[in-house]
């Protein structure tokens, strides 16, 4: 048995890495991979503690990065969704030989909202705290509620949550230690001051209806990262690659070719 992270690789072309979000696994990218493998060699990983990597564990971004680098391609385009966006950004900052272009999807350098000294929009700290408490009492129910939050507001919310659930349930359940560590990262990690050190081209993708990463974040980051590109999916909430998959894939192809 391979004790490392589970990777699924398909297609031909430039290397492209897809990183899933909290509570999910690599199966969420199934539709995306089906399109992108015509343009790229697509690498999909289950992060430590999730899906087929449930036997692994990592408590912080450093430990995740160490495990990713064992089998990750170098000089690739990295696409990180939600918590995966933090992972991909961390890789671009600390291991740029792996990342030649960076794409963050419905992600933020700091997920937790703060009021002072400067207002930063995000998830209310008490909401993240409640998820942590609920996780200990009702493991599956907490993940279900989080999936509901991710598609809330989308015109295809019912279909999106069906796809998310099917993807998550198609692979082994995440281990509780990794889920708790992930919530702590969403609560504590703040990469805002490091963003100026990103040396690779960057594309930021957002859902107009996203309740977890508000559009105000995109405006703040447009100022902090004036050389980055951004695109807003008008019909999407937190999972634009499900709600508007064709447009999502075209954005990645265009960015890769730019």
For the chain, the domains span 6-257
Q: What is the mean pLDDT of the chain?
A: 94
Distance CA 237, CA 106 (A): 8
Band (pLDDT 50/70/90 cuts) for residue 137 is confident
User: Which one from 210, 218, 220, 236 is the annotated catalytic residue?
Assistant: 210
- Tokens, residue 191: 């990469």
Is 62 annotated in the active site? no
Helix axes 176-188, 83-94, angle to 10 degrees: 70
Give the number of other Cβ atoms within 10 Å of residue 126's Cβ: 9
Between the alpha carbon of residue 84 and those of residues 79, 105, 118, 123, 174, the distances in Å are 8, 8, 25, 16, 15
The mean per-residue pLDDT over the stretch 26-55 comes to: 97
CATH code for the domain defined by 6-257: 3.40.50.1820
pTM of the model: 0.95
Partner residues linked to 108 by β-bridges: none
pLDDT of residue 203: 98
Between the alpha carbon of residue 183 and those of residues 16, 131, 148, the distances in Å are 26, 8, 17
pLDDT of residue 1: 44
User: Which one from 53, 82, 112, 237 is the annotated catalytic residue?
Assistant: 82
Distance CA 29, CA 56 (A): 21
Is 82 annotated in the active site? yes
- Per-residue model confidence as pLDDT tens digits over 243-257: 999 999 999 999 999
- Tokens, residue 245: 């998959």
Higher pLDDT, 134 or 90: 90
Biggest CA-to-CA distance, the chain: 50
Is 257 annotated in the active site? no
- Per-residue model confidence as pLDDT tens digits over 86-109: 999 999 999 999 999 999 999 999
Higher pLDDT, 154 or 255: 255
């Amino acid at each position: 048995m391979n004790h490392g992270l589970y990777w699924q690789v398909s297609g031909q072309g430039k290397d492209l890495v897809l990183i899933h979000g909290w509570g999910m696994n690599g199966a969420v990218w199934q539709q995306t991979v089906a399109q992108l493998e015509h343009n790229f060699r697509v690498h999909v990983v289950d992060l430590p503690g999730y899906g087929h990597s449930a036997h692994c564990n990592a408590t912080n971004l450093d430990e995740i990065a160490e495990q990713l680098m064992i089998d990750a391609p170098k000089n690739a385009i990295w696409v990180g969704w939600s918590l995966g966006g933090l992972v991909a950004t961390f890789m671009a900052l600390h291991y740029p030989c792996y990342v030649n272009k960076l794409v963050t999807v419905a992600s933020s350098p700091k997920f937790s909202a703060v009021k002072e000294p400067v207002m930063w929009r995000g998830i209310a700290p008490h909401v993240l705290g409640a998820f942590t408490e609920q996780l200990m009492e009702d493991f599956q129910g907490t993940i279900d509620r989080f999936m509901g939050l991710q598609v809330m507001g989308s015109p295809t919310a019912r279909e999106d949550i069906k796809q998310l659930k099917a993807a998550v349930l198609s692979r082994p359940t995440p281990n509780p230690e990794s889920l708790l560590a992930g919530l702590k990262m969403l609560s504590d990690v703040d990469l805002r001051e490091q963003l100026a050190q990103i040396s690779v081209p960057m594309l930021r993708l957002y859902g107009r209806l996203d309740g977890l990463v508000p559009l105000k974040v995109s405006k703040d980051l447009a100022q902090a990262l004036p050389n980055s590109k951004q695109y807003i999916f008008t019909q999407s909430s937190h999972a634009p690659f499900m709600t508007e998959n064709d447009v999502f894939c075209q954005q990645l192809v265009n960015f890769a070719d730019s």
